Amino acid sequence: MRAATAGATLARMAERLAIARLSPAAPLPGWATSSPFFSVTRTRGELSIVRPEERVPDGIEAVRGGRGFACEGPLDLGLVGILASIAVPLGDAGISLFAISTHDTDYVLVRDADFDRAAEVLAGRGHRIGTRNA
């Protein structure tokens, strides 16, 4: 394993996101995967779906108003400490996060009200902040 170097490139994601929670036994709804960005995780306790908030139907239990940062990748799976280099400064600043990891990269969601401050905090810790559309 190699330690991550300071200063990841983080892209601001344009869309507002929601984190929906369904029953663990619920079938995967058709709306869950009908956008360019989505994440689906099923565990024994829940079915979580992250996607643009305007595509989550009314009446679905969801935390809305999230905004995301994407670590520009692909990232080497042997790197360690990338998520910590983001989570620790945000935690120190009192900003909660929701993390999603894929094979190639990590995504960090924060509340829309904290988004600009989160970008400032992360830039202050050496991360480069850019923009991304998807």
For 59, left (φ over 0), alpha (ψ -120 to 50), or beta?
left
- What average pLDDT does the chain have? 90
Distance CA 43, CA 26 (A): 11
Sign of the Cα torsion 7, 131, 114, 65 reads negative
Which residue(s) pair with 55 in the sheet? Answer: none
- Which of 35, 55, 50, 34 has its CA nearest to residue 97? 50
Residue 75 confidence (pLDDT) = 62
Per-residue pLDDT of the chain (134 residues; tens, 9 = 90+): 444 555 788 999 999 999 999 999 999 999 999 899 999 999 999 999 999 999 999 999 999 999 999 988 766 666 667 888 999 999 999 999 999 998 888 899 999 999 999 999 999 999 999 886 54
Is the Cβ–Cβ distance between 111 and 64 less than 8 Å? no
pTM: 0.86
pLDDT, residue 131, reads 81
Fold of the CATH domain 2-132: VC0802-like (3.30.2130)
- List the chain domain ranges: 2-132
HSE-CB of 47 using CA atoms within 13 angstroms: 10
pLDDT value for 132: 67
